[in-house]
Amino acid sequence: MQFIDLKAQYHALQMEIDANIRAVLDSAQFIGGPYVKELENKLADFVGRKHCITCANGTDALQIAFMLNGVGRGDAVFCPDMTFISSTEPAKMFGATSVFCDITPDTYCLCPESLERQIQMVIAEGSLTPKAVVAVDILGNPCDYDAIGALCEKYGLFLIEDAAQSFGASYHGKKACAFGHIATTSFFPAKPLGCYGDGGAVFTDDDRMADLIRSFCVHGKGPGGKYDNVRVGMNSRLDTIQAAVLLPKLKALGDYEIDQRQTVVGRYNDAFVGKLQTPFVADGCVSAWAQYAVLAKDSEARDKVIAHLKEKNIPSMVYYPTPQHALPVFRNEPHYGESFQNADDYCARTFSLPMHPYLEEAEQQEVIDAVLEVLEW
């Protein structure tokens, strides 16, 4: 059994993927070209934004977002305490300070109340300038954008939607990547929409920002092209073969994969309700279910389940074992008295089970039976 079965997905889409790859090889056009343009147009249409610019990976997409906002030394970037380091890593490279906020105890996303407390503490302390908020759609579950967007407007903050795990999700009828001044996503192979290597994209409705993003992606190019360098940029482009792979995957995601993920989660939830803390999705929202994460009673119970699953040759993972404030690289960042109680609790008890749209019902039952076995000891 695979934790995320990319082979099963490939077999389902093999004819389309192979044909596209052969076409790229025949054309010998490996950078740019019609597949990249077609993918960008279809991604923008899928999420309902005016512009999509692809890039080399999801971290580059976030770096570009920080570059657009001019994030640098003396700036505060607000982010949930439970995420992957890439959510604020590029900002720290530019000299900014990561200010972490607690998560909600149910969706595990950025807590608006904690965010506002941290914003107010930064303003009161006075040494940093509140600059940007990174709202992370963790595990595929969208954030509360009504509340977070209102706070960003109230305090004049640049809102970045980190949708690395949520492509295909929706919030009150709008797709993930449709929120914030800028939205970013990742096409890392294990993501809901993944390529066969690294890839990412940036989304915006702002024409000026879109022009800047395209410039940043190609060494700060100007109107005259890549040898007309008008600013310092980077080398961050999606390979043509990856675009060719993503096109049939995007269609499958919209046609049936998101629905099949809901079916798997429904069976898991029915089996585990009352025995584990099962994931919560707010009314009006649809999760992309990048992961199916549950909470055990405590760390000891979590470790027993993981050990039993290993004995049964059933894979599991922990997303994420350490909150950001406890990572060595961030231990000197200011906490402003925030306790991160929910993030600490989540990281101590969480584990994730096999989750993908090609997980057969018999495999789902095998996972369910193994988990229930150890819970009944």
Q: Which domains does the chain have, with CATH numbers?
A: 6-100+107-247 (3.40.640.10), 256-375 (3.90.1150.10)
Do residues 248 and 17 make contact, with C-beta atoms less than 8 angstroms apart? Answer: yes
In 3D, which of 301, 299, 305, 303 has the Cα closest to residue 348? 299
Q: Is 30 exposed, middle or buried (0-12, 13-18, 19+ CB in 10 A)?
A: exposed
Average pLDDT over all residues of the chain: 97
Report the pLDDT value the prediction gives residue 376, as an integer from 0 to 100: 80
- Report pLDDT digits (tens) over 70-91: 999 999 999 999 999 999 999 9
Predicted TM-score (pTM) of the model is 0.96
pLDDT at 337 over 90: no
Residue 4 carries which DSSP code?
S
Please give the angle made by the CA atoms of 290, 168 and 365, to the nearest 5 degrees.
45
Report percent pLDDT > 70 for the chain: 100
Q: What is the mean pLDDT of residues 39-50?
A: 98
Give helix then strand counts, H and E, for the chain.
Answer: 12, 14
Quick one: pLDDT at residue 202?
Answer: 98
Q: Give tens-digit pLDDT for 131-185.
A: 999 999 999 999 999 999 999 999 999 999 999 999 999 999 999 999 999 999 9
C-beta neighbour count of 165 within 10 angstroms? 28
Residues 90-145: tens digit of each pLDDT: 999 999 999 999 999 999 999 999 999 999 999 999 999 999 999 999 999 999 99
Give the span between the Cα atoms of 199 and 192, in whole angstroms: 13
Q: Which two tokens stand for residue 97?
A: 């300070």
- For the stretch 208-260, pLDDT in tens is 999 999 999 999 999 998 899 999 999 999 999 999 999 999 999 999 999 99
Q: How far apart are CA 32 and CA 19, in angstroms?
A: 18
User: Angle at which helices 240-252 and 34-47 pack, to 10 degrees?
Assistant: 30
Q: What is the per-residue pLDDT for 237? A: 96
Q: In the predicted model, is pLDDT for residue 377 greater than 80?
A: no
